[in-house]
Amino acid sequence: MNTHVISLVSIGAHPTSGRPRRAEQDARAVELGLQMAGDKLQVLHAGNIAEPTLRSYLGMGLAQLHVLEQPAGADALPVLSEYLRDAGAQVVLTGSQAETGEGSGMLPFLLAEHLGWPLIVGLAQVESIDSGVAHVLQALPRGQRRRLKVRLPFLATVDNAAPKPRQSAYGPAQRGELAAHEVEVEEDELFTGAVLQPAKPRPKRLKVIKAKSGADRMKAATAKASGGGGQVLKGVSPEAGAEAILKLLVEEGVVR
């Protein structure tokens, strides 16, 4: 396939130690891009070029990584949308949310809005791209998949349903080239009113029993779970029973 694919990457943080690492979902975006475009994949980062973790993306077998140079706390949206408008990409892949900073997951949505491109959320697999139309599989909760048809160019976010990223190798990581681009820096106005603080563990929700009498409290503490007043079909033929079950399954939309 000779599709022009750009993957956007960011610096992640290890969930336990908090040390910088390649971001999990961004690595998946790179992997998917490599599967789609091979060597022609372009990888783009907006941020600090001196960050050593960037090389772990190069270690996935990339020759070059483009960096739009920005200090920390700058707004990545205008520089990225400007770059992408002129880059002539057909598919842009991103992770679904950043692992550091605000991590609101808004960037792909805002980019799509700025560029006027359609956005696919939770891309799992690209089935085919011909004559400007792509058939893709979208990952849904509970392991389900949905097939979508979308016109190029489009933006897509990947989540954990996308293919697992390949390992990052040390040699290619050191040999790869970081290509810097000078861009205008715009400050992000979020942190004028907002404060980042260490995450507080959320209190576990207690099971509150609003019983008026002692008997009700006793019952709530000891009673078995019961649906209460389900329909019971007794003495019906197996066919009638099966019909009733099928009716419920079809109503719930689990039998298609």
Partner 1 sequence: MSDIIRRDPRAEWIARNRLHPLHAAMQPAQHSWMGPNGVIRKNVHGVGFIGPNGIKRIDRSGAQQGGAAKRTATVDVQLPLHQVAAPAFYINVVPDMVGGRLSSHDRDLLGLARQLAGSDGAVLAVVFGEHKENAFATAGVDRLLVLEGHAFDGYSPEQRVQGLRAVDNQFNPRHWLLPDSRSGGGELGRRFAASLKERPATRVWQIKGEQCIGRAGAGQQDLARPLPRLILAAAECADPVSETRHEVLPVELSTALARRLPRIEDLGAVAVDPAAIPMAEAEFIFSGGNGVKDWALFHQTAAALGATEGASRVAVDDGFMARDRQVGASGTWVTARVYVAVGISGAIQHLQGIGACDKVVAINLDPGCDMIKRADLSVIGDSAAILQALIAAVEAYRHGAKRDAA
Looking only at residues 111 through 130 of this chain, which bind partner 1 when binding is defined by CB under 8 A?
112-113, 118-122
Dihedral sign, Cα of residue 127, residue 132, residue 138, residue 144: negative
How far apart are the C-alpha atoms of 81 and 70, rounded to whole Å?
14
How far apart are the C-alpha atoms of 21 and 27, rounded to whole Å?
10
For 54, the token pair is 């960037």
**Smallest distance, partner 1 to C-beta of residue 83, A:** 19
Q: Which is nearer to partner 1, 220 or 233 (CB)?
A: 233
Of 2, 130, 207, 234, the one binding partner 1 (CB under 8 A) is 234
- Interacting residues with partner 1 between 28 and 47 (CB under 8 A): none
Q: Is 103 in the site for partner 1 (CB under 8 A)?
A: yes
Of 177, 186, 187, 243, the one binding partner 1 (CB under 8 A) is 243
- Is the CB of residue 47 less than 8 Å from the CB of residue 122? no
Q: Which is nearer to partner 1, 49 or 148 (CB)?
A: 148
Q: Which one of 40-48, 54-62, 94-102, 170-178 is the stretch in contact with partner 1 (CB under 8 A)?
A: 94-102
**Smallest distance, partner 1 to C-beta of residue 177, A:** 29
Query: What binding mask, one character per residue, do residues 202-231 give for partner 1 by CB under 8 A, x or -?
Result: x--x----x-------------xxxx--xx
Q: Which is nearer to partner 1, 61 or 118 (CB)?
A: 118
- Interacting residues with partner 1 between 141 and 160 (CB under 8 A): 141-151
Q: Which one of 34-42, 53-61, 86-94, 194-202 is the stretch in contact with partner 1 (CB under 8 A)?
A: 194-202
**Smallest distance, partner 1 to C-beta of residue 194, A:** 4
Measure the CA dihedral 32/33/38/41, to 10°. -160
How far apart are the C-alpha atoms of 124 and 103, rounded to whole Å?
21
How far apart are the C-alpha atoms of 112 and 121, rounded to whole Å?
11
* Residue 211 phi, psi dihedral angles, 5° rounding: -100, 140
The β-bridge relationship of strands 91-95 and 64-69 is unpaired
List beta partners, residue 147: 137
Of 9, 43, 98, 162, the one binding partner 1 (CB under 8 A) is 98
Closest-CA residue to 111 (of 124, 92, 97): 92
